[in-house]
Chains A and B, each alone.
Chain A
Amino acid sequence: MAINKEFESAKNWYINNYKEFSAGLNGLSKSFFTPLRENAIKDLGKLGFPTTKNEEWRYTNISPLLKNNFIPAAASREISLHFEDIKNKLFTGFEHHLLVFINGIFSEELSSVSNIPSGVIVDSFGKLLRNNPEVIEKYIDNFNNVQTAFDALNTAYTTDGLVVIVPDGKVIDKPVQALYLNGDDENNVLISPRNLVIVGKNSHASVVTVYEPGAEQKYFTNITTNIFVDENGNLDLYKIQNESEDSYHIEKVDAVQNKQSVFSHYNILFGGGLVRNDINTAMNDEFIETNYYGLYLGNNKQHIDNHTFVDHAMPNCVSNELYKGILDDKAHGVFNGKIMVRKDAQKTNAYQSNKTVLLSKEATIDTKPQLEIFADDVKCSHGATIGHLDDEAYFYIRSRGIPAELAKSILIRAFANDVVEKIKIDGLKEQINHLIFEHLHRIEI
């Protein structure tokens, strides 16, 4: 009962704060998005925050998150940062268009988007909402999909985020990099980025989202990302999450794919105190390919929860999923991968694999790979393994005169490489490999 009360009061906190927040929206308040916000607040009231009694949140207790009363990051706050301050947070090994968001709010001065093909939109959600709302209003159906309390919270409080719209038959030459610098020096802030990525027919885009800490205080990043990939479209979406270990990080990705499209999601997780990802893809037509790759490295008391869902509603589609985890200290990992094959989805091929290495006595993992299959002519499989580093492989490397720490590091990097090698941007791949190496060095395996 005590828990329920706590959940109830957190819910009321966000509902009651909404009035003040919406009063400060100024120019934004007349946009098409405002009714969605108001509905979302009602939804939040109805849904409430999920407790561990909710099967989807069985292993993730969010009460530490709800104990904090986060204040929505203010749009008007002056931020005096220079490019030099953020340079070391960027992934620079490849050419890219850059958008920078401070506490989820677009910073024009720090961003650099140039020479994009005509018709392609790479911009800020907030800016578009103010100046050209019709551009995003077209995709209103994608916003109108509130399913969880956190989704509702984001819809109510979001003011900005990344928008990439690639019209039919266009290709963005360079990947788009969106850097989110999160956290405030004074307040515990709620950061609510709303990302929208639309890839038209026969188009291609590659997007890298990076979440980094920017200040000392605790903060809560609550992201909703809406994705639509039209016929023959191709989207690679990378997420590199390196938030502070005091922070809370929740993201929901909702993707919709049309005929023959390919969507690949790469989820590389280093940081965050309590992390939860929900990645959902709905297949609208035939011959669709969906790939999920994930790597999570946890230490100290990190809690990392990944929920993925592939909804095979139509025949002849393929999905691949590979999630690997390395957990040290008291880190707790959760994986829940669900593959649904509906009645009409004949000739479906669906593969899923989750492998976790536990490096310490107190690290734990709860994994739940799920198959729900209603069609008979399908090939589906899933696998999950949990273990420690292979003693024989370790012995082999040690017997060649390699010191203990390096030997372990080699084995772990080899384990992680199955995921890292899927990254298609060479410069990014290298830097991520480097980050893994640094991470292993830091945690003193």
Chain B
Amino acid sequence: MSEDMKVVEDLTQSEYKWGFVTDIDADEAPKGLNEDIIRFISAKKNEPEWMTEWRLKAYRHWLKMVEPSWHNVKYPKVNFQDIKYYSAPKRKPQLESLDEVDPELLKTFEKLGIPLEEQKRLAGVAVDAVFDSVSVATTFKETLAEKGIIFCSISEAIRNHPDLVKKYLGSVVPYTDNFYAALNSAVFSDGSFVYIPNGVRCPMELSTYFRINAMDTGQFERTLIIAEDNSYVSYLEGCTAPMRDENQLHAAVVELVALDNAEIKYSTVQNWYPGDKNGKGGIYNFVTKRGACRGKSSKISWTQVETGSAITWKYPSCILQGDNSVGEFYSVAVTNNFQQADTGTKMVHIGKNTRSTIVSKGISAGRSNNSYRGLVKVLKGADGARNFSQCDSMLMGDKCGAHTFPYIEVDNDSAMVEHEATTSKVGEDQIFYLNQRGISTEDAVNLIVNGFCKEVFNELPMEFAVEAQKLLAISLEGSVG
């Protein structure tokens, strides 16, 4: 009950809570994009030659690509020459302990509600905090190192574990994949790298917080997670960004690789600046996330709570290659005011007896548009493939839109594919029932919406579930009159 009270309390704050700018001297690249900028980024990160070449190859390919224009998403075109592609907080070359971290930075994290010191003791969560593209502190490294787990920034991995990176980087999302994946491959600044060795169960939830900070800096993270045979890892990602008027571009790429019997659980809470009430500003979130279930009986599970960003374009996908592998996708997407979300998943069944589950809940309010776009593809060899999809939408107000575009392509007769979608509004009788019991309309709506999303929240790690509930309430605040 006390949690509910907190939700109510948070409701009273109407402005975007996380809007502040930290003043740190950023080490920046000039605006614009060309081969020199890419060499600059690569040099800044002390990258080996092969990495620079890889980036340049991606860049050259990107030049040949055409920016996609999507059916249900409208926004002013991004000027790719007007973006700073690199910005790093100035810091000493190597950090030994938290004391060495810029106090300004620490303060920022405190405001964000993730004090590293506390985080260490709390709940056993190791945090690799990415602050404007560069990792500033990594905790619990020793504990993880004992088990042979590698958890570091991707630039560190490029320097220290080049074989692993060479083997897997771009193997799930090649730079030829799409326009934004190519861009990311060319200019990615940093991100996380996780490697779980054979037979190891990662003892703690790995988590990283991203923040977009310096003016006009697009953030291009690159995350790579590899789970060897019989291993398990749960990875959390949460985001907040400061209030800003210019649109900021965020084009991340996340690659997951699960080998035999491995399981990867990837959870996201995304709460970037959605723009103000009039639809001005906000983040463009164009992300490519994909997991490959390479091994037998492997499993990849995506859970996401998307409340932020002016535009979200994101389809965490599973390539179910190994026999008996499992893909899961649980999503809550909330849009308010002028936000646009076009999100969903792709489940590609290649191996035999592969299974996938899709549960997507979309809530639209204000003048926002919320689309589910998903693909379930069963290839010829995927005997006994099984898919269940459920996409429910809820509408609040008569100016918003909710859309469903499922693509189902089945080339195998033994497959069983089910899809259902419903659209409805918050029931007046439900609100009346709760009002009758002395619960205010706003709380009643929160209760109903939380119930609507329960299936997905249940999949989130505990700390995230609490945060997600609060976010939902804040995002929808004032949308029911």
Contacts and interface: CB of A to CB of B under 8 A. Distances in A.
B419 interface: yes
A386 B419 CA distance: 9
Given A369-B421, A373-B402, 6 more contacts: A373-B423, A375-B398, A376-B398, A384-B418, A385-B417, A388-B413
Nearest to A335: B408
A386 B411 CA distance: 10
A168 to B, nearest CB: 35
A50 B393 CA distance: 32
A373 B410 contact: no
Interface stretch (A16-24, A139-147, A203-211, A356-364): A356-364
A371 B404 contact: yes
B408 A384 contact: yes
A343 B412 CA distance: 40
Contacts of B400: 374, 376
A425 interface: no
B421 A381 contact: yes
Contact of A366 (B402, B403, B409): B409
A378 interface: yes
A290 interface: no
Nearest to B387: A386
Given A343-B398, A374-B401, A377-B398, A367 B408 contact: yes
Given A358-B410, A363-B413, A376-B398, A369 B422 contact: no
A372 B417 CA distance: 22
Nearest to A351: B422
B406 interface: yes
Interface in A312-342: none
Between A346, A356, A369, the greatest number of chain B beta carbons within 10 A of the residue's beta carbon is seen for A369
B419 A369 contact: yes
B98 interface: no
B7 interface: no
A330 to B, nearest CB: 11
A439 interface: no
B63 interface: no
Contacts of A385: 416-419
B356 to A, nearest CB: 13
Between A361, A365, A386, the greatest number of chain B beta carbons within 10 A of the residue's beta carbon is seen for A386
B399 interface: yes
Nearest to A366: B409
27 contacts: A358-B412, A360-B413, A361-B413, A363-B413, A364-B411, A366-B407, A368-B405, A368-B407, A371-B393, A371-B403, A371-B421, A372-B401, A376-B398, A377-B425, A378-B424, A378-B425, A379-B422, A380-B422, A383-B418, A383-B419, A384-B420, A385-B417, A386-B410, A387-B416, A387-B417, A388-B413, A388-B415
Nearest to A357: B413
Interface of A: 55, 59, 343, 346, 356, 358-388
A358 B407 CA distance: 17
Contacts of A378: 395, 423-425
Between B404, B406, B417, the greatest number of chain A beta carbons within 10 A of the residue's beta carbon is seen for B404
A364 B377 CA distance: 11
Given A358-B413, A384-B419, A376 B404 contact: no
Given A361-B412, A364-B409, A386-B408, A376 B397 contact: yes
Nearest to A356: B410
B369 to A, nearest CB: 9
Contacts of B403: 370-373
Nearest to B369: A374
B71 interface: yes
B414 interface: yes
A369 B416 CA distance: 17
A249 to B, nearest CB: 23
Given A358-B410, A366-B408, A387-B417, A381 B423 contact: yes
A375 B395 CA distance: 8
A375 to B, nearest CB: 6
A59 B395 CA distance: 31
A359 B401 contact: no
Interface in B100-145: none
Given A373-B401, A373-B403, A381 B408 contact: no
Given A55-B71, A368-B408, A386-B410, A380 B423 contact: yes
